[in-house]
Amino acid sequence: MNYVVGVDIGGTFTDCVVVDEGGKVTIGKSLSTPADFAQGALNAADDAAQNVGLKNADELLSTTQLFFHACTIGDNTLITRAGARTGLILTKGFGDTLHMMRGKIAEGLTENEIAHRSALDKPEPFVPRKLVEEVPERIDYKGTELIRLDVKAAEQAIDRLVSKGVESIAVCFLWSIINDDHERQLAELLKKKYPKLFFTLSSAVAPYLGEYERSATTVFNAYIGPKISSYLKNLQRVLHSKGLKREPLIMQAYGGVLGIEATCKNAVGIIESGPAAGVVGTRFLGEHIGEKNILATDMGGTTFKVSVVRDGVIERDYKPVILRHSILSTKIWVESIGAGGGSIAWIDPDTGLLKVGPQGAGASPGPVCYDLGGIEPTVSDADLVLGYLNENYFLGGRMKLNKAKTIEAVREKIGKLLKMTEVEAAGGIYRIANSHMSDLIRKATVEKGHDPRNFVLLAFGGAAPVHASRYAAELGIRQVVIPLTASVHGATGLISSDVVYEYGKSDHVVVPVEATRVNENFSGLLERALSDLRAAGFEESDVLVNRSVDMRYRYQVHELNVPFPAGTTAITVQEMEGLSTLFDDLYEKAFGQGSGYREAGKEILTFRLTATGLLKKPDIKAERVQRSDGAQALKGQRDVYFEEEHKFVSTRVYDFTKLHPGVEFDGPAIIESPVTTIVVNPKDRAAMDEYFNIRIHLGA
């Protein structure tokens, strides 16, 4: 028997998903081991192996066909400031580029933070000013060399950095995206004198216009590069010693995987790759259930995240903001706010109003109901008071919740001050939390020109199934899907991934542009793509190529990414015209009818090519569907407070493990599983589909 394995290392848990040749899915879980993440990966693999019926991880790995991996080490290294001591080399005269941040002190801050102007501060730089060196050289916008690279000055600059203990160097010269000669010359100097020193060239890692964002991207790459490299090479070694034959494939932030070598070259690509795995899983699930438009929502302990799959394509962000820096690395597009099961409810002393979040109670002390010392009421506490959560069956009974303490906390800290009962107060907390989340989804969809009513909503993350129907209903969404694998959504996404390489080139051309110019640009990218994929073991017939361009109306700053039809054949004049029309359409869809001013003319700024090496996807078995009302899964009933009814309602409680595909029943109902609780509201209807996912039809 051969297996496909995915290991997803998160902040607290490491999940392992195993799929066998018959499409059977088995899960393993273990605590993450930050001191040496690879250990936690092995532990989870061990757990999964045993659940499959094998002896241990060795047996599993030696029969593993494909091994996928996602981790948070990129994010962690940045957040904990544990990266390499990094130096930066810039064009003379522009040495403050990274620190100036183009003046963008408010980037990445919440609305409330921005409003408080007197408290604003730039983030701590990743490269202190004393580790920035400037080297005389200059290239212009055409790529013409105006001032030679001063080799002596360059050497002295490098020596100075090394003497200051620099372990990694980022290089970003102006216009290296059109002419990378000077950066490559500098690379030669580095390789000759300091062959062991890690370095990154901006023209290699982010060949796009904008020296601030490009230098920030290059710095991030140089900063985390050494650590990522050593982690991945160690992981590969360890797995190999345990019997894994093929190279592990690593999840990138744009929702595809790459081998170890390719990942190490472009370490910045794995920052925030964890959520990417979940969204890939969302698309995969969508393919199975026949949904092409999905809003993937993840409600964790502290953060609520939204991503979008539209027409089967994951929406991307080409200029994401990471830790308050805009960078030029492709990522899936994610919107997030501080809202989760652990968000704390509080009364604003100034105004007497009830607020929820953004502060969270975290894992420790956690919500009041966890009885681990938490005293501030949270969203999960409200869920308990309202009757959604079962104090005797939380996490499959592994954890008992203290309802009495919770009721008291909600009453004393919130209810009394609002002159409400604890139930009314809990209802208020629930409503406000849901409104934050629906507002975020609204922002995520409507601002991009999508109508949420055309989407189904996927809910994963611990607290989501208690809230999803309500925040979805706010937006007119008609169906909520809670996947079987919701608790290991990231790992599930991993095993449904393809190998994906991203390429791009900045070239500013005014439309109409000759097709030859366009094809020249793309063929350059295609050549590199085919070479990389061949080296990764793919035949050209297993490679899917997508080409697109970033376009805008002239005199504007904002761009939209516009796709060409898939494939590699030369772009024709007709297709160029089609592109232009498509841009007009996409623009109006996003910004309203009549908003595009076609007379302004258009221009293309960036050419992008995505090359996908298709991997065989696991065949998730569809079960036979047998209609029933789920009576055999009934485990009891309890009174649950439903906001829309303004009262407690006697509610059926079902045991998830006893449901089967084809079960269907009306709300109000609660479905309890060992990993989550699903709430079905009074006017909704729940069903289990052939893949064991729960589908809630709203207002049915």
Residue 335 engages another protein in binding (rule: CB under 8 A)? no
User: What is the CA 684 to chain-centroid distance, rounded?
Assistant: 30
Quick one: which of 160, 184, 400, 442 contacts another protein (CB under 8 A)?
442
- The amino acid at residue 535 is A
Stretch that binds another protein, among 54-62, 231-239, 556-564, 613-621 (CB under 8 A): 556-564
Quick one: which of 12, 80, 118, 650 contacts another protein (CB under 8 A)?
118
Stretch that binds another protein, among 265-273, 287-295, 353-361, 383-391 (CB under 8 A): 353-361
Report whether 426 contacts 641 (CB < 8 A): yes
Residue 123 engages another protein in binding (rule: CB under 8 A)? no
Quick one: which of 16, 73, 101, 571 contacts another protein (CB under 8 A)?
101
Residue 410 engages another protein in binding (rule: CB under 8 A)? no
Dihedral of CA atoms 351, 355, 359, 365 in degrees, nearest 10, equals 110
114 versus 582: smaller Cβ distance to another protein: 114
Nearest-approach distance from CB 504 to another protein, in angstroms: 15
Quick one: which of 275, 428, 465, 613 contacts another protein (CB under 8 A)?
428
Please list, in sequence order, all residues whose beta carbon lies within 8 angstroms of the beta carbon of residue 613, skipping any fewer than 6 positions away.
498, 499, 500, 501, 533, 536, 538, 542, 543
Residue 570 engages another protein in binding (rule: CB under 8 A)? no
- Interface residues for another protein in 190-209 (CB under 8 A)? 209
- Interface residues for another protein in 576-595 (CB under 8 A)? 590-592, 594-595
- Interface residues for another protein in 623-662 (CB under 8 A)? none
- Helices and strands per DSSP (H, E), number in the chain: 19, 35
Residue 460 engages another protein in binding (rule: CB under 8 A)? no
DSSP H helices, 448-599, are 464-473, 489-494, 515-535, 573-591
Say how many C-beta atoms besides its own lie within 10 A of residue 367's C-beta.
30
Report whether 504 contacts 528 (CB < 8 A): no
Q: Are strands 294-299 and 304-310 parallel, antiparallel or unpaired?
A: antiparallel
3-state secondary structure of 24: coil
Based on its alpha-carbon atoms, the radius of gyration of the chain, rounded to whole angstroms, reads: 26
Quick one: which of 1, 35, 404, 557 contacts another protein (CB under 8 A)?
557
What own/partner pairs with CB < 8 Å and gap ≥ 24 does 49-57 have? 49/18, 51/18, 51/26, 51/27, 52/3, 52/18, 52/20, 52/26, 57/242
Residue 505 engages another protein in binding (rule: CB under 8 A)? no
Quick one: which of 10, 11, 95, 108 contacts another protein (CB under 8 A)?
95
Residue 12 engages another protein in binding (rule: CB under 8 A)? no
Nearest to 145 by CA among 154, 156, 137, 157: 137
Quick one: which of 43, 76, 97, 217 contacts another protein (CB under 8 A)?
97
Nearest-approach distance from CB 345 to another protein, in angstroms: 11
DSSP percent split of the chain into helix, strand, coil, nearest 5? 35, 25, 35
Nearest-approach distance from CB 349 to another protein, in angstroms: 7
Residue 675 engages another protein in binding (rule: CB under 8 A)? no
Stretch that binds another protein, among 86-94, 161-169, 479-487, 647-655 (CB under 8 A): 86-94
- Interface residues for another protein in 137-156 (CB under 8 A)? 138, 140-142, 146-148, 150
Nearest to 32 by CA among 23, 24, 41: 41
Nearest-approach distance from CB 79 to another protein, in angstroms: 22
Residue 15 engages another protein in binding (rule: CB under 8 A)? no
Q: Are strands 86-91 and 168-172 parallel, antiparallel or unpaired?
A: parallel
210 versus 563: smaller Cβ distance to another protein: 210
